[in-house]
Amino acid sequence: MMSGETNSCSIPTDLVNDILSRLPAKSVARFRCVSKLWSSILLCPYFTELFLTRSSARPRLLFAVEQEGDDWCFFTSPQPKNPDDEELSLEVTADFQMKFPGGNTCLEFCGRASDLIYLCPHISEHDQCIIICKPSTGQFTSLPIPKECNRRSFWRSFLGFDPIGKHFKVLSIGELDADEKRCQYQILTLGTGNDSWRKIHCPLNHFPSSEGICINGVLYYLAEYSAEQRDGTCYMIVCFDVRSEKFKFIYRDFISYRDNTELINYKGKLGVVTWEYDCHTCTMRSLTLCLWVIKDVEEPESSKWSEYVYTIWESQFDGCDVSTFWGNPIVGVTATGEIVISTEDASKPFYVFFFNPERSTVLSVEIQGFRAANHGALQQRSRMVRVFVDHLEDLKFITM
């Protein structure tokens, strides 16, 4: 491998870009230290877009695995592409990316935007910080929590990305008055050198009731609010434009806060999926999915929705008992339209299932390698796994 400015100058820049764009993001991050010339090449907008284009051709699965001592380990594995066989099962080994030590701090997994992972500690009397980590390069950074954030208030935060301005932003919402349910809305822009939170205006007082998902510069999450014309608490979808920092709201009858409701990215559009288990019979148990997909992403408040219903039989899950799918089994939807379902316990054989709605087939993929990263130790307690589809290595924010 060439090194230094003298040797690299003898090779055309386009060829250097082509070679380096095929490397893992962790290698690119290291090669920034070769020389000032290489650093300028690897951080220029042309190369970062070329790298992302190459990465888009080979999407992967990303796994966040909870370890002993509140540590988190991150893995990736190849993501199957449009399998032709109707009945197929695979075994793949996950590659270890990085370990983030929780220490004595219990970190909550809050979400993902691009290839950044967002972790937030349980608020206590002691000052804590928000953690942003980049598994593809092993980098991480810490952010201060809002000053008003303390153990007597409830806060929820989201990470979003503005694809036009190329900025990541953290939106935090705090319920400052539990009796009146009065909330405060603050935002922090990453990569500016300024870690100050800014208060922003929201026309409707609300508090989030789910994790968020960022699609094409818009952050979506479920939220609860009080409506005078209705008794009790109502639920809606909040649409937060990361660039303009403006809120919009979606009200639909199928929106409710239940443990079996999830927001997903369905081919670049917002989707709402719910699931029900039918475990009343011993021979024909199944999982039923109801999916709503928004038609007009530009006008979410007045847009119509498409509705789909799918039934997956237990026999299609490669012997897994559907009644053991505790928590949220819906991982997301691939760019090619497969609904991804997974188990959630890394202390047992771990599976990811790709359901093809058009053919009603299920590809079963057993993920191995989680225990090897823990030196082969068998753990008795359940270890939660978070799975993300279509993970792309991205060089944005690599300088953090």
The string of pLDDT tens digits covering residues 18-38 is: 888 888 888 888 888 888 888
Q: What are the residues whose beta carbons fall under 8 Å from the beta carbon of 355, sequence distance 6 or more?
A: 289, 310, 312, 338, 339, 340, 341, 361, 362
If you average pLDDT over each of 110-119, 181-190, 211-220, 314-323, which comes out highest?
Answer: 211-220
Burial group, residue 378, by CB count within 10 angstroms (0-12, 13-18, 19+)? exposed
Nearest to 314, CA basis, from 338, 344, 348, 278: 278
Query: What pLDDT, on a 0 to 100 scale, did the predictor assign at position 5?
Result: 47
User: pLDDT at residue 8 above 50?
Assistant: no
Mean pLDDT of 165-186: 82
Record the tokens describing residue 400, joined without a space. 């953090």
The whole-number pLDDT of residue 125 equals 44
Q: pLDDT band for position 388 (50/70/90)?
A: very high
Check if CATH label 2.40.70 holds for domain 58-391: no
Query: Phi and psi of 286, rounded to 5°?
Result: -150, 170
pLDDT tens for 345-363 read: 887 888 999 999 988 889 9
Instruction: Give residue 48's pLDDT band: very low, low, confident or very high (50, 70, 90).
Output: confident
Tens-place pLDDT, residues 226-241: 765 555 667 889 999 9
**Read out DSSP for 250-278?**
E--TT----TTEEEEEETTEEEEEEEEEE
Does this model's pTM top 0.75? yes
Residue ranges covered by each domain of the chain: 1-57, 58-391
Residues 58-91 pLDDT 10s: 899 999 888 766 678 899 999 987 665 555 788 8
Nearest-angstrom CA–CA distance, 197 and 332: 31
State the Cα–Cα distance between residues 330 and 340, nearest whole angstrom.
Answer: 6
Whole-number pLDDT of residue 75: 93
